[in-house]
Amino acid sequence: MADPKRIQVTVGAQPIKVQLRKDVLDAKAPIVFGNGWPFGTNPNFVEGIQQGVKTLIDRVLMPGRYRLLKWLFVASDDSKGHGIACEINAFTTNVGVEYTEFAILGNVDDLSYEIFVEMNGGYVELHLIVKSDHVVKARTARIGVFN
């Protein structure tokens, strides 16, 4: 954390003191905040993902149907300064899995990719294909309704 900057502004006769500081979170690896962290102790980290290669990012046992799984997903190429973040919801049904990707942050023109969610036996799998010329690392955390 950088040293805080202190300024004082006077509004009318009332002085107002303000302290500014910049906090930087090092996100090289997933951070686990313990059992109280709302996404559980399940962060996932996959690095070295190559362009055009379908890569398994996460695999979750989801027995039965009508189960819900949410991933918080981040992909980045730190060497080129590109990254994206999104949420992915998956819902198991009678015939497989339905999914949607939303709340996309970052520039997908700089780091284009494709997400796939598939059933494999009783497992739901999250896959990533990087479409642009990047070597990417992916980080996820998940929550779900499994019973």
Model confidence pLDDT, tens digit, residues 91-146: 998 889 999 999 999 988 889 999 999 999 889 999 999 999 999 999 998 888 76
Place of tokens 């559980």: 40
Q: Copy the structure tokens of residue 61.
A: 């046992």
Phi, psi angles (nearest 5°) of residue 58 = -155, 155
pTM of the shown model = 0.71
AA identity, residue 103 = A
Phi, psi angles (nearest 5°) of residue 120 = -140, 95
Q: Copy the structure tokens of residue 84.
A: 């994206």
Return d(Cα 61, Cα 120) in angstroms, integer. Answer: 9
Which CATH superfamily is 26-145 part of?
A: 4-oxalocrotonate tautomerase-like (2.60.40.1680)
- What's the CA angle centered on 45, arms 41 and 49, to 5 degrees? 160
Model confidence pLDDT, tens digit, residues 63-82: 778 889 999 999 999 899 99
